[in-house]
Amino acid sequence: MKLYNHEKFRGIRKTLRKDMTKAEVVLWIHIKSNQLGYKFRRQYGIGKYIVDFYCPKLKLVVEIDGATHDHPDTQKKDQEKQEYLESEGFTVIRYNDEEILNELNAMWDNLHNICKSIANQK
């Protein structure tokens, strides 16, 4: 299987970009246009998964978890997804909706520091 943006998931990626959650929209406004110094893509396909945000240069995946991620079945799927991505050499970080909507500055500082740390390791 092609690793990036497999054609069979194109429609799903497009729908997810149109129907982003409020937290995803807020984060996208802040990371698009290289505002962190790195290009991010949204709703990007990696293997059989679609990640919320992806920085190719850093191999960094940012996932946003809303209330639906509290369900045990969803947590299991999230864990499987994260294990797959990490096995392929990606760094995965997760934020929940509340962190983005209520603690944006702290979340932004954290994400900025993670980007710098990964860049310094390369």
Q: How confident is the model at residue 23 (pLDDT cuts 50, 70, 90)?
A: very high
Three-point CA angle 88, 11, 42, nearest 5°: 50
CA distance 40 to 32: 6
- Residue 10's CB is within 10 A of a number of other CB atoms, namely 11
- What mean pLDDT, rounded, does the chain reach? 92
Strands 91-96 and 60-65: parallel
Taking residues 104-114, report their average pLDDT: 96
Q: How far is CA 122 from CA 36, 61, 78, 84, in A?
A: 17, 16, 27, 21
Starting at the edge strand that comes first in sequence, how are the strands of the sheet with 41-46 ordered?
Answer: 41-46, 49-55, 60-65, 91-96
Q: What per-residue confidence (pLDDT) applies to 2?
A: 62
More confident site: 85 or 33: 85
- C-alpha radius of gyration, the chain, whole number: 14
Domains contained in the chain, CATH given:
7-121 (3.40.960.10)
- Checking if the pLDDT of 86 tops 60, the result is yes
- Checking if the pLDDT of 31 tops 60, the result is yes
Q: How confident is the model at residue 37 (pLDDT cuts 50, 70, 90)?
A: very high
Q: What per-residue confidence (pLDDT) applies to 81?
A: 96
- Checking if the pLDDT of 83 tops 70, the result is yes
CA distance 30 to 104: 10
- Checking if the pLDDT of 42 tops 90, the result is yes
Instruction: Provide the CB-side half-sphere exposure for 86 (13 A, CA).
Output: 8
CA distance 101 to 81: 24
